Structures are given as structure tokens and as C-alpha cells.
């Protein structure tokens, strides 16, 4: 196809009914503590990766719950799986495992190469 230099602008609206939440379902099945996240941002505050990149685990958690997987894919690879986030979470979410499962789910369900 010829490229005329146009691109369509992706709407910023999260369309909940159109989004696909199979990644979320996979996480919930294997790490039920994910339900307890309240989006406080403690994890993102302590995250070493967040100091140098736009990585925010708090944001990833929310986006996963809405089925905004493209953005999650872009962000999640910046995690170094150090586990500091798990230490601070006031709701006892096993955040490190959430990241791990997310990457796994992408591989499995999407056949996406991490």
C-alpha cells in the first residue's frame, strides 16, 4: 500500500466494551492478589526503572484491568524484575508475579515475543 504520509490518530478514549481482557483473566487466575490493587502508586514510587523511563507499575495495573494491552506491552519490558515494588505494596499484591504473568500471558495468548 502506498504511504501518503497520513496516519490516523488513535483515540485516547478507553473503549471498555471493545477491549480484550484475556491477559487480565490470565493474571487473575494465577495471582488473585491482583484484585486488591488500589492504585496508590507505592510500587511506582520505589521502582528503579521508573527513575529513568516512563515505566509505572501503578499505571500498568490500571491499564491491564481495562484491557489496554498495547500500552502495557510497551511499558512492561522496562521492568527489571527486582521485586522492590512487592515490598512496599500496602495491599499485599504480589506485583513481581503480576509482571511475570503479564509477560507470560503475552507470550502464550498473543504469541508475542517478549
Partner 1 sequence: MPEKQDEHIVIVGAGTAGCTAAGQLAREGYRISLIEKESKPGGKVNNWYQLFPDRRKSEEVLKYLLGEIDNPLINISLNTDIDSIIKEKKKFLVTTTHGELLPADAILLATGFDLFNPERKEEYGYGIYDDVITSVELEDKFHSGAILTSKGVPPKRVGIVHCVGSRDEKVGNFHCSKVCCVTAVKQAIEIREMLPGTEVFCFYMDMRMFGPYYEELYREAQEKWGVNFIRGKVSEASENIEGRLLIKVEDTLAGRPLKMQVDLLVLMIGIENSLSGKRIAEDLDLKIGINGFFSVLDNHYGNNLSNMEGVFFAGTCTAAMNITDTISHARAAVVEIDSYLKSQKKEVEV
Residue 101 corresponds to which cell in the numbers above? 504473568
Residue 6 within binding range of partner 1, rule CB under 8 A: no
Residue 63 within binding range of ligand SF4, rule CB under 6 A: no
Indicate which single residue of 24, 27, 75, 89 sits in contact with ligand SF4 (rule: CB under 6 A): 89
Indicate which single residue of 23, 27, 57, 63 sits in contact with partner 1 (rule: CB under 8 A): 63
Q: Minimal distance in Å, beta carbon 57 to ligand SF4?
A: 4
Q: Which residues contact 111 (CB under 8 A, 6 or more apart)?
A: none
Residue 38 within binding range of partner 1, rule CB under 8 A: yes
Element holding 13 (H helix, E strand):
none
Residue pair 59/75 in contact (Cβ under 8 Å)? The answer is: yes
Amino acid at each position: 500500500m502506498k504511504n501518503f504520509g497520513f496516519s490516523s490518530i488513535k483515540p485516547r478514549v478507553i473503549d471498555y466494551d471493545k477491549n480484550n481482557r484475556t491477559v487480565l483473566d490470565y493474571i487473575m487466575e494465577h495471582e488473585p492478589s491482583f484484585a486488591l490493587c488500589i492504585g496508590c502508586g507505592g510500587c511506582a514510587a520505589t521502582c528503579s526503572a521508573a527513575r529513568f523511563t516512563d515505566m509505572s507499575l501503578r499505571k500498568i495495573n490500571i491499564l491491564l484491568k481495562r484491557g489496554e494491552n498495547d500500552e502495557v506491552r510497551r511499558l512492561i519490558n522496562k521492568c527489571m524484575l527486582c521485586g522492590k515494588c512487592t515490598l512496599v505494596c500496602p495491599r499485599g499484591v504480589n506485583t513481581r508475579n503480576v509482571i511475570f504473568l503479564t509477560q507470560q500471558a503475552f507470550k502464550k495468548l498473543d504469541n508475542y515475543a517478549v
